[in-house]
Chains A and B, each alone.
Chain A
């Protein structure tokens, strides 16, 4: 293939545009993080940390619980992803919504649900809670790729005498391998840096790097120890991303639109499909049901009082109305989603563009946009507060900083949703648009964006939900009058009194219902 034509203006535009995602991450993530590192890093402390057996124990525990969590998540998520991306049946949308919802819930809600069932802290509860949170990641990343694989490929493999297993190994797996790997890396990163789940369901003796970073920096004031741990954590996650990076760019000539097979009575293996969806849905939904139950029961009796209180607009003991809290969450999540998706679109078009494959610019962009998953939330939070404290950058108490930081955090996953979708658009479609007289801008709008609509909506939904649930870095920012639903839930659960507590569970249930609604559509 000869070199494709791209006008110099278009090329300059592309280069200029890539400044936005890079600059955004650099200003709002790299700068505050390295400001913390520069102020508190000490080589001797790092050496002490690395020779301290209890600290190494923490690193080891973080590693193996994260690996087990990835395996457990895959075992639960894989059958559901297969069934939901290949078949259409009544209730499929609802199951998809239920499976993706927990991703946005505050850890305390999921953790309380898990504990209500297991009744004990420890590794089993950690794994369950991590599975509940992360099935959504696999479903959202791998599902679209898998559904792109037209059944005709598997059918033709079957007619060539290939067994289902061999078909999977030789036809399906090569197609989905890259996204599975990237989803697994992402799940690993989330579990490795998990904070809320570990501190609540792990029991107090289970410590991971992130919980220890929090303890050392916030509780004990040992910023130097915290920074050493944060650097170790960053290196491990970066290594994992490096390993999971696709070695060969996946070229795709497969159909852009494939319709899932309708599942009817005659479809062979119908029961396998149903079980593949229903079992994971139960595993994920049971802890959520526990939340709903607590919102309507008071000492074993049915009571809808908390529901009527919250729906009449009052949140007990909080000086803010239900509607205000929901409005704040909504505005933050829309702003986050708009920002994150715009930046992710720019970044992923850069990364999937032919000109930049494996160039240094491509690599820098990929590294920078992965950083938000890598950087410890506590370190980032403290970094923000200590960095943006001088005019003209005294942004730390500005309300807009909250959705901006949410967008930084949502960026990596939005990119991971958009990039494969962009790669799946055949180049010839763009050529055709050009020969029909479409300018590059028109081609982008009427071909690229139009075809990316499902992926754009999906990443928009995911970014919005990340904003709804984020309770890490931005919990370090000061706020005035901007209580979100997540904060209100944790405030309500954090006070004695039946109505206060139940109202917390009501608000969590509302959040669940809202998210099921969003996720089963997007």
Chain B
């Protein structure tokens, strides 16, 4: 018993220490809270120079995946959990605007949601990797595709929006019926699709085509098993399937540090931070001055003519499209 009590005291002491530390910091300098999704892992120490130059400390807090984060932010609009929000993308931008979530916002990074192929799988079967969305309904590609539930997963939604952009309103439904007859598999989320269902990467599933990102192949190289290092990724991207995802960073309505927040956003858009993004967040910079690392220029795909739909059209139709999609596939 005594030991437990000691531990609890230790915990209490620990938490009171940290809160005391933040209080004193607030007295001297401004501490900005950067609110982001769980997967936000910037390069360690990247904000040090910003703090040195401006005297503004940055505290990163994370809270759920991007969907959870935006829903919470909308529910608490005006009483935000932070000052700056990272992670609204073009599929949710209009929803955020309607809730007047952000007082100002800017695009901060781009990435493409694309089909990835297990190159070994196709090579060993002498089968050509499909190059167009239309190929996926051909008999030789039967039962090879895994995508995600667009209701639950943002890459799943991106892929659906890509097919809508490509085939057009009124025609995409026919394409999806054909995909379904050709054995498309729907996973609940990216993790399940990529780590369990996909045959490529480190997976051992049975689907050699998966909806993922244009930046997944370089991640496969950078985080390959060093006992079996690879110089070229074993996955490739089908460029014509890419749907453009743009992420925004903005100042949350209700923040008391508007000027400081603007300074932070300028830093996030500056060359230094933008150049750190590819290998820490696996997204492309929006700043034209930022140079890309070799790994990205060689293996990552940023489609030259990506599939796009405007945020307004997405917001206007999302629920209708999702319901139609559910009606088709369920």
Chain A residues in the interface with B (C-beta under 8 A)? 108, 111-112, 115-116, 119, 199-200, 202-205, 215, 217-221, 223, 298-301, 303-306, 316-319, 331, 334-335, 338, 382, 385-386, 389-390, 396-400, 403, 475-480, 487, 490-491, 493-502
Give the CA-CA distance A221 to B315 in the complex, in Å. 12
Which B residues are in CB contact (< 8 Å) with A318?
A: 41
Q: List 18 A-B contacts (CB under 8 A).
A: A219-B71, A299-B202, A301-B228, A319-B42, A319-B44, A331-B14, A334-B7, A382-B72, A475-B64, A478-B63, A495-B223, A496-B213, A497-B202, A498-B220, A498-B225, A499-B223, A501-B202, A502-B225
B 196-220 to A, binary, CB cutoff 8 A, 1 in contact else 0: 1000011110100000110010011
B202 touches A217 (CB 8 A): no
Partner of A386, one of B76, B149, B222, B330: B76
Tell whether A215 pairs with B152 under 8 Å between CB atoms, given A298-B228, A496-B223: yes
Give the CA-CA distance A331 to B72 in the complex, in Å. 27
Which B residues are in CB contact (< 8 Å) with A382?
A: 71-72, 75
Which B residues are in CB contact (< 8 Å) with A499?
A: 223-226
A397 touches B81 (CB 8 A): yes
Give the CA-CA distance A495 to B224 in the complex, in Å. 12
Question: B39 near A: Cβ within 8 Å?
Answer: yes
Question: B192 near A: Cβ within 8 Å?
Answer: yes
Give the CA-CA distance A478 to B85 in the complex, in Å. 12
Question: B244 near A: Cβ within 8 Å?
Answer: no
B39 touches A495 (CB 8 A): yes
Q: Which residue of B lies closest to A115 (CB)?
A: B196
B202 touches A478 (CB 8 A): no
Q: How large is the interface on B (under 10, 10 to 19, 20 to 34, 35 or more residues)?
A: 35 or more
Give the CA-CA distance A390 to B254 in the complex, in Å. 13
Which A residues are in CB contact (< 8 Å) with B38?
A: 487, 491
Which B residues are in CB contact (< 8 Å) with A389?
A: 76, 79, 81
Give the CA-CA distance A495 to B38 in the complex, in Å. 12
Which A residues are in CB contact (< 8 Å) with B95?
A: 221
A497 touches B220 (CB 8 A): yes
A496 touches B41 (CB 8 A): no
Q: Which residue of B lies closest to A386 (CB)?
A: B75
Question: B8 near A: Cβ within 8 Å?
Answer: yes
Give the CA-CA distance A500 to B188 in the complex, in Å. 21
Tell whether A338 pairs with B75 under 8 Å between CB atoms, given A199-B188, A498-B225: no
Question: B231 near A: Cβ within 8 Å?
Answer: no
With a 10 A CB-CB cut-off, give which of B11, B95, B149, B188 has the most chain A CB atoms.
B188
Q: Which of B303-327 contact A (CB under 8 A)?
A: 319, 322
A299 touches B196 (CB 8 A): no
Which B residues are in CB contact (< 8 Å) with A334?
A: 4, 7-8, 11
A477 touches B63 (CB 8 A): yes
Which B residues are in CB contact (< 8 Å) with A479?
A: 61-63
Which A residues are in CB contact (< 8 Å) with B62?
A: 478-480
Question: B151 near A: Cβ within 8 Å?
Answer: yes
Partner of B152, one of A219, A338, A398, A491: A219
A338 touches B228 (CB 8 A): no
B75 touches A305 (CB 8 A): no
Q: Which residue of A lies closest to B116 (CB)?
A: A496
Closest Cβ–Cβ distance, residue B322 to chain A (whole Å): 8
Which B residues are in CB contact (< 8 Å) with A476?
A: 63-64, 68, 72
Which B residues are in CB contact (< 8 Å) with A202?
A: 188
Which B residues are in CB contact (< 8 Å) with A490?
A: 191
Which B residues are in CB contact (< 8 Å) with A300?
A: 204
Question: B67 near A: Cβ within 8 Å?
Answer: yes
Question: B186 near A: Cβ within 8 Å?
Answer: yes
Partner of B227, one of A108, A112, A303, A494: A303
With a 10 A CB-CB cut-off, give which of B35, B95, B227, B228 has the most chain A CB atoms.
B227
Partner of A497, one of B42, B68, B223: B223
Tell whether A493 pairs with B71 under 8 Å between CB atoms, given A199-B152, A389-B79, A480-B60: no
Question: B15 near A: Cβ within 8 Å?
Answer: yes
B79 touches A215 (CB 8 A): no
Which A residues are in CB contact (< 8 Å) with B297?
A: none
Question: B102 near A: Cβ within 8 Å?
Answer: no
B194 touches A496 (CB 8 A): yes
A316 touches B223 (CB 8 A): yes
Give the CA-CA distance A498 to B204 in the complex, in Å. 11
With a 10 A CB-CB cut-off, give which of B75, B79, B81, B204 has the most chain A CB atoms.
B75
With a 10 A CB-CB cut-off, give which of B63, B213, B322 has the most chain A CB atoms.
B63
Closest Cβ–Cβ distance, residue B319 to chain A (whole Å): 7
Give the CA-CA distance A304 to B72 in the complex, in Å. 40
Q: Which of B143-168 contact A (CB under 8 A)?
A: 149, 151-152
B75 touches A219 (CB 8 A): no
B 67-83 to A, binary, CB cutoff 8 A, 1 in contact else 0: 11001101110010110
Question: B172 near A: Cβ within 8 Å?
Answer: no
Closest Cβ–Cβ distance, residue B204 to chain A (whole Å): 8
Give the CA-CA distance A112 to B197 in the complex, in Å. 10
Which B residues are in CB contact (< 8 Å) with A403?
A: 11
Q: Which of B24-73 contact A (CB under 8 A)?
A: 35, 38-39, 41-42, 44, 59-64, 67-68, 71-72
A498 touches B71 (CB 8 A): no
Which A residues are in CB contact (< 8 Å) with B11?
A: 331, 334-335, 400, 403
B35 touches A478 (CB 8 A): yes
B15 touches A400 (CB 8 A): yes
B189 touches A199 (CB 8 A): yes
Which A residues are in CB contact (< 8 Å) with B64?
A: 475-476
Partner of A495, one of B8, B82, B219: B219
B 1-18 to A, binary, CB cutoff 8 A, 1 in contact else 0: 000110110010011001
Tell whether A298 pairs with B223 under 8 Å between CB atoms, given A204-B187, A493-B195, A496-B216: no
New A-B pairs, 8, CB < 8 Å, besides A475-B68, A478-B61, A496-B220: A200-B192, A298-B202, A334-B7, A338-B4, A385-B81, A491-B39, A498-B202, A502-B225
Closest Cβ–Cβ distance, residue A431 to chain B (whole Å): 25
Which B residues are in CB contact (< 8 Å) with A335?
A: 7-8, 11
Closest 5 CB pairs of A and B: A497-B223, A478-B63, A498-B202, A204-B149, A496-B219
B 122-141 to A, binary, CB cutoff 8 A, 1 in contact else 0: 00000000000000000000
A317 touches B63 (CB 8 A): no
A218 touches B201 (CB 8 A): no
Tell whether A306 pairs with B225 under 8 Å between CB atoms, given A491-B38, A496-B194: yes
Give the CA-CA distance A318 to B35 in the complex, in Å. 17
Give the CA-CA distance A500 to B41 in the complex, in Å. 14
